Structure 1
């Protein structure tokens, strides 16, 4: 059965982006061998991707400028947005708006036998929690204190989590998996 999973990197004080809403501070940690190995294993299980409009626009700009490669391969990518956004060649993009619950069946169906990766932003992940669709939170916690920024869910979310596991990825980096109750 398809599972909706929010896999995200965060500082020890719970921020996924710094005060200027930039997440590039995480890039060096993402390249650490333990983090990269775990992420690659996770990504193999992904059948579809959900992303917010702002996050997609940032990625699309970097891809268009040649500073980044499209990281989602040929997986279907669903973009929640209220704006017209550019498409990228050779990508399977669907731009949507509306209620998360309304689209969840179509998104799950597009994942085939795989899971759905909620990439972000935080508000999109928070919306999936509020709609009671998010099944699992996977957080890579790195030894950085940002002091301010965008929290994991980007808004005041209240939900119960149950710890599934904690894995030491090396270099004082830990991966925590939680089921969302």
Structure 2
């Protein structure tokens, strides 16, 4: 059965983006031994990806300018947006508007036997929690204090997290895995 999983990097004070809404501070840690391997194992089981319009626009701009490669391979990517956004060649993109619950079955179906990665942003992840559709939260916590920025869910939400599991990924980086509900 397909699971909806929010896998995200965060500072020790709970931010996934800095005060300028950027996440470049995480890049160094994403390539650390342990972190990269854990992500690669996670990504192998992903059949589809969900991102918000702002996250997609940032990625698309970096890809178009040659500063980054498309990170989702040939997996279907669903983009929740209220804006017209450019497409990228050789990508499987679906731009959608509306309620998360309305689209969840189509998204799950597109994942085949894989899971759905809620890759960002925080508001999209918070929307999945509010729609009672998020199954698991995986947080890669790194030794950075940002002091301000975008919180993990981007909005005030209430959810019961259970099945806490903490795994060390390196000397100073760890992943916290929670089941939701």
TM-score with structure 1 length normalisation?
0.99
Computed over aligned residues only, the root mean square deviation of the Cα atoms, in angstroms, reads: 0.5
Instruction: Please name the residue that 2:65 is paired with.
Output: 65
Pairwise mapping of residues 126-141 of structure 1 onto structure 2 (< 5 A)? 126-141=126-141
The size of the alignment, in residue pairs, is 181
CA contact (8 A) 1:6 1:138 kept: yes
1:52 aligns with 2:52: yes
Once the two structures are superposed, the pairs formed by residues 1-181 of structure 1 within 5 Å of their partners are 1-181=1-181
Q: CA deviation at 1:170?
A: 0.7
Separation (CA, whole Å) in 1 of partners of 2:69 and 2:20: 23
Question: Do 1:163 and 1:176's aligned partners in 2 also have CA atoms closer than 8 Å?
Answer: no
Q: Distance in 1 between matches of 2:81 and 2:105?
A: 18
Gaps of 5+ in 2: none
Q: CA deviation at 1:153?
A: 0.1
Shift in Å, 1:158? 1.0
Unmatched segments (≥5 aa) in structure 1: none
Deviant stretches of 4+, over 3 Å = none
Q: TM-score, normalised by structure 2?
A: 0.99
